[in-house]
Structure 1
Amino acid sequence: MRMSRSRSRRRILLGFSLACLLLGAFSAWQATAQQERGMALVMTLDGAIGPATSDYFQRGLELAAEREARLVVVQMDTPGGLDAAMRDMISAMLASEVPVAFYVSPAGARAASAGTYLLYASHVAAMAPATHLGSATPVQIGGGGGLPGTGEPETPDDQGEGADQGDGASSGGKDKSAAEPSTGSEAADAEGQPLDASDKRRGETAMERKVLEDAVAYIRSLAERHGRNADWAEAAVREAVNLTAREALEQNVIDVLATDLDDLFDQLDGREVVMGSGTLVLDTADLAVERFDPDWRTRLLAVITDPNVAYFLMIIGFYGLIFELANPGSLVPGTIGVICLLLALFAFQVLPVNYAGLALVLVGLALIVGEALMPSFGILGIGGIVAFVIGSVMLMDADTLNISLPLIGGIALVAAGLMLWVMTRFLGLRRRPVRTGQEELLGVEAVALEDFQGDGHVRLRGERWNARSRMTVSNGQAVRVVGIDGLTVEVEPLEARS
């Protein structure tokens, strides 16, 4: 009986070992087959481009290099975003050893503003039907003075000698079906026709012209690198023009018009792309798709890297620590303050922070707190508010990352209100009668313990005190304390003041 059980156990163990060997062999074969088949890493860029997007994209390129992917595909639908984050992404893409294809999809998606630059910088620019791109004029977040594209175009009177030629070039009707992309150095209009020099938007101020010309040179260099329509790219920057996917393909703005990923892979197979080390022929036939979607880190970074959120977290963190130090052991404000301050510092490492502005903000907050702890009749408080407001305006060292002025004003008003409340409280305390020490006995009633004029004794709050009076006081008569001299109180009869 025992021998039969032992044999059955051996058979089970042998079968289990054999199954493990077969499973391991199958996994190894599958991994080898997948490696031979090749892999494409697919990422998703949905929404505005910012530091979180840049971090996500660069981590995706690193993962693609580790997995030896043959292609990185970024499915994009963006209204634009921050110039600094976009340039970081482009720099990483141009240095990547894995070719990158930006694919505007699904239907209805767009590659506006910064998305247009990313398309031009990518090794493969692809779009799905019913998508569009363009409107690449740099603008300042929040409006205001505005960068090129926010104001009215310059009139012919502002163009000098070329005004007449500009009017003539723009007055004639053009047949859209006959339009061809320009190959010269002049910018093209929305129909692909070259713009006269007088028609080019150049900005109204020196700063606008500086930003605009930099953007034009940047996108033209990207277009020339990959052999795409540089003239339309310049028009997209200067005139904020747009193209549909079909028009973009016809005007050599994009490389591929694909309905889905499989169609994209089929069309890219055998295509030659320009890499940093030279040209590369793509091998995208029968690629295995591995998705790298935004994780919690990207989502968290997208929230806290908003300049207003990071700024608010810093304020909460600072005051949380102050309240904890003022009330040791309360724990709640200290815990919240530490968490918020660490999140703010994490956000500041990816934001263009002006450290002079940060120092002014911290000094301003410290002065406001100092006003509450050691009243200076408003000197510390007013100086703190001024330093706080100036530092908040200077905090983000970029035009497109300025903190909201209403937020700065709101926090400054709250701080001023707190300071005003503290000052009124201290003034009220000064008017209150003294509640501790010998001075607190002034005006208190007592009872004479004997008849006396001069020195005697009174009962004051249950205690026997030496007393002195200039008037005659009878035993049991109510008296009032009018002065204190060491351990002797000066008293007078209550009716003496009536």
Structure 2
Amino acid sequence: MVYVYPQRAQAASAGTFVVLAAHVAAMAPQTSIGAASPVAGQGEELPATEQAKAINILVSLIKGLTERRGEAAAEWAEKAVREAVAATDQEALELGVVDFVVPSLDTLLQELDGFEVELLGQTVTLETTGAGVKRIPMNPIESFLHTITDPNIAFILMTLGINGLIFELSSPGGYLAGVVGAICILLSLYALGVLNVNYT
């Protein structure tokens, strides 16, 4: 199950694929989905040939994800990739892109009770009456990495790092400024998406 929540949240770009891949898709009021056209790493347009290849492969993928949701949903999904169209929660519900529009997770669990989904070729009826919700907070490392991915903090780290290295080069011998500067630069590169880090 994928739930686009809270209000004013959006399942844009890759988020559209995540929602459509779910056995059950739901959205909160005042949310949106779509605009799944491929772009380069920094948001710029891809070269023509690469863009055509990316669009065609993504269209075939998104069509496969929406086959079970009907023709209207499949047509909309293709436009989401080719034309970057988006839909509100109510539009997505009318098109069959999502199954529910509900204001809260508790309401969603109530609506899900008795809902049927296909799992491994078998029809399964969900039983969610009395189901509890367990919230899993971020651990300290995740919380730290989430904090530094704020663009403002990332650029502050980059500035501190560059200044630290400049200070170290102009007054060598202490090492502290250089080490701190290097760490700040590495953190800023991670935050800006330049470095891929797997800490698990």
What TM-score do the two structures reach when normalised by structure 2? 0.73
Contact 2:162-2:181 at 8 Å conserved across structures: yes
Bigger Rg over Cα? 1
Matches within 5 A, 1:360-371: none
Contact 1:127-1:245 at 8 Å conserved across structures: yes
Which of 93, 101, 108 in structure 2 is aligned with 1:249?
A: 93
What amino acid does structure 2 have at the position aligned with 1:208?
Q
Contact 1:136-1:236 at 8 Å conserved across structures: yes
Relative contact order higher in (CA < 8 Å, ≥ 6 apart): 2
Q: Which residue of 2 aligns with 1:129?
A: 29
Which stretch shifts more, 129-138 or 307-316? 307-316
Contact 1:321-1:338 at 8 Å conserved across structures: no
Structure 1's unaligned 5+ residue stretches are 1-100, 148-203, 352-498
Structure 2's unaligned 5+ residue stretches are none
What amino acid does structure 2 have at the position aligned with 1:205?
A
Q: Which residue of 1 aligns with 2:130?
A: 286
Distance 1:132 1:343, change over 3 A: closer
Matches within 5 A, 1:313-324: 316=162, 319=165, 323=169
Identical residues among aligned pairs (%): 39
The offset of 1:232, in angstroms, is: 1.4
The offset of 1:350, in angstroms, is: 2.8
Q: Matched residues in 2 for 1:232 and 1:315: separation?
A: 46
Distance 1:318 1:209, change over 3 A: farther
Q: Which residue of 2 aligns with 1:427?
A: none
The offset of 1:335, in angstroms, is: 4.5
Q: Which residue of 1 aligns with 2:197?
A: 350
Distance 1:105 1:332, change over 3 A: same
Q: Which residue of 1 aligns with 2:38?
A: 138
Distance 1:272 1:320, change over 3 A: farther
Contact 2:69-2:97 at 8 Å conserved across structures: no
What amino acid does structure 2 have at the position aligned with 1:137?
S
Q: Which residue of 2 aligns with 1:214?
A: 57
Q: What is the Cα-based RMSD across aligned positions, in Å?
A: 3.8
Contact 2:25-2:98 at 8 Å conserved across structures: yes
Q: Which residue of 2 aligns with 1:119?
A: 19
Q: Which residue of 2 aligns with 1:312?
A: 158
Distance 1:313 1:122, change over 3 A: farther
Q: Which residue of 1 aligns with 2:104?
A: 260
Q: Which residue of 2 aligns with 1:28?
A: none
* CA offsets 1:198-253 (integer angstroms, 9 cap, x no match): xxxxxx821221121122122122223x5452221101111222222222222211
Distance 1:138 1:341, change over 3 A: closer
What amino acid does structure 2 have at the position aligned with 1:219?
I
* CA offsets 1:114-172 (integer angstroms, 9 cap, x no match): 2222210122110123333222222336565x24xxxxxxxxxxxxxxxxxxxxxxxxx
Distance 1:214 1:350, change over 3 A: farther
Contact 2:168-2:175 at 8 Å conserved across structures: no
Q: Figure out how many residues of one structure are paired with residues of the other and give that number.
A: 191
Contact 1:102-1:124 at 8 Å conserved across structures: yes
What amino acid does structure 1 have at the position aligned with 2:77?
A
What amino acid does structure 2 have at the position aligned with 1:116?
T
Contact 1:317-1:340 at 8 Å conserved across structures: no
Distance 1:223 1:326, change over 3 A: same
* CA offsets 1:46-100 (integer angstroms, 9 cap, x no match): xxxxxxxxxxxxxxxxxxxxxxxxxxxxxxxxxxxxxxxxxxxxxxxxxxxxxxx
Q: Matched residues in 2 for 1:295 and 1:283: separation?
A: 31
Contact 1:104-1:111 at 8 Å conserved across structures: yes
1:102 pairs with 2:38? no
SS of corresponding position for 1:103: strand
The offset of 1:292, in angstroms, is: 2.0
Q: Matched residues in 1 for 2:144 and 2:166: separation?
A: 21
What TM-score do the two structures reach when normalised by structure 1? 0.33
Q: Matched residues in 1 for 2:127 and 2:40: separation?
A: 42
SS of corresponding position for 2:3: strand
What amino acid does structure 2 have at the position aligned with 1:288?
G
